[in-house]
């Protein structure tokens, strides 16, 4: 019966307005459907694990390139060498993280995006190269369910 699954709760909403943090509170009833656990199980079976990593490569003052990211940094004389190192680090990082996040998927998609800026003389200057990796896979629970 639905009335057996009604709970009273208090909710907080935090908002930033005019550089001030405001907390709003209100009471309402949460309604939990009778078979909510089935919906949760369906979500576990049909869901997917998504992992992303990004490495930024920027020109340095000496004519080389700096690779910057939470998964590593490095200095390179050549842009192609920096991009290859960034790609290798992203792929290794995402493949290692996949198991910790519940998927056995190992395929990583890598995109390279260059940002340039126009100088006063009309020429383009490299601002940044972003190497972005994406790994998406089915959760082990979905695979164990026989789907």
Same domain, 16 and 82: no
Q: Find the domain containing 32 and state its range.
A: 2-42
pLDDT of res. 79: 95
pLDDT of res. 8: 42
pLDDT of res. 7: 42
Same domain, 74 and 135: yes
Same domain, 131 and 72: yes
Q: Total structural domains in the chain?
A: 2
Same domain, 93 and 131: yes
The two three-digit tokens of residue 21, written as one number: 């943090």
pLDDT of res. 138: 86
* Stretches in the chain below the pLDDT threshold 70: 1-33, 36, 39-45, 141-147
Which residues have CB under 8 Å from 78's CB, separation 6+? 65
Same domain, 18 and 69: no
pLDDT of res. 94: 93
Same domain, 115 and 55: yes
Same domain, 17 and 58: no
Same domain, 54 and 124: yes
Same domain, 135 and 105: yes
Same domain, 77 and 118: yes
pLDDT of res. 102: 85
Same domain, 25 and 66: no
Which residue bears the tokens 């003389």? 121
The pTM for the full model equals 0.65
Same domain, 58 and 94: yes
Q: Produce one character per residue of 37-64: b if its CB has 16 or more CB atoms within 10 Å, e if not.
A: eeeeeeeebeeebebebbbbbebeeeee
């Amino acid at each position: 019966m639905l009335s057996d699954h009604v709970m009273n709760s208090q909710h907080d909403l935090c908002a930033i307005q005019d550089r001030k943090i405001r907390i709003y509170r209100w009471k309402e009833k949460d309604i939990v459907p009778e078979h909510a656990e089935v919906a949760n199980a369906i979500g576990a079976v049909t869901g997917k694990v998504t992992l992303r990593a990004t490495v930024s490569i920027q020109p340095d003052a000496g004519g080389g390139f700096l690779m910057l990211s939470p998964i590593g940094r490095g200095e390179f004389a050549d842009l192609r060498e920096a991009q290859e190192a960034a790609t290798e680090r992203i792929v290794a990082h995402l493949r290692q993280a996949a198991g910790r996040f519940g998927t056995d998927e190992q395929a990583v998609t890598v995109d390279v995006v260059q940002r340039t800026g126009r100088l006063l003389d009309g020429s383009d200057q490299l601002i940044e190269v972003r190497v972005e990796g994406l790994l998406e896979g089915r959760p082990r629970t979905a695979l164990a369910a026989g789907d």
